[in-house]
Amino acid sequence: MCQDETRVGLKTLTGKVITASGVKPTVEVKWPRENFWIYGAIEPLTGDHFLYEYPKLNGECFQQFLDWLSQQLGGDYAILQVDQAPAHTSSAIRWPENIIPLFQPPSAPELNPIERLWQLLKKPLKNQLFSSLQTLRDRIQVIFDQLTLEQVISVSSYNFILEALFYAASY
């Protein structure tokens, strides 16, 4: 499995806008910094995904996510690819028995397939204004509800990623 977090908030994500030739597009933008974090773990081969919201990115929230993920896995075991963010490498982290960490090299987000899932999930949020965090949460929930296993597989199961994961897991 591959794990990471992404921040979403009221600050408008801007993207390309199609307009007539010679017309400069305008998009209303909000700048407030209210936000929350989505912690996630995906299994590239099956499309299984586990997503949960937390108020911030820190060791305490990461521990809560690990404990929740462990419960979701039940009796199954998982090798969990994580980056080397301070929240993941803290000595205070207690790894559940059924989750084995696999730390990816530092400063290499392109090695983590879940980064592509975050792009997919944030695409419908571009150029959108949300009046409150709850409105944003509701929109994200709709996106999550529409997310299929096939979509997760299609954005995360690239051969070079799978080969690297199999190679790393074999040691």
Q: 80-114: string of b/e by CB count within 10 Å (b at 16+)?
A: bbbbeeebbeeeeeeebeebeebebeeeeeebbbb
- pLDDT, tens digit (0-9, with 9 covering 90-100), for 42-74: 998 889 999 999 999 999 999 999 999 999 999
Q: Which domain holds residue 72?
A: 2-15+31-169
120 lies in some domain:
yes
Residue with the two structure tokens 């305008």:
26
Rounded alpha-carbon distances, angstroms, from residue 99 to 42, 77, 118: 13, 6, 22
Q: Render pLDDT for 5-37 as a digit per residue (tens, 0 to 9).
A: 988 887 666 567 677 788 777 666 666 678 899
- 86-135, pLDDT tens digit by residue? 889 888 999 999 999 999 887 777 788 899 999 999 888 887 788 888 99
Give me the number of domains the chain comprises.
1
Q: Report which of residues 153 and 160 the model is more confident about.
A: 153
Q: 130 in a domain, yes or no?
A: yes
In a domain, 24, yes or no: no
Q: Phi/psi of residue 74, each to 5°? A: 60, -125
Q: List the CATH number of the domain containing 11.
A: 3.30.420.10
> Is residue 131 situated within a structural domain?
yes
State the pLDDT at residue 12. Answer: 60
Residue 22, in any domain of the structure = no
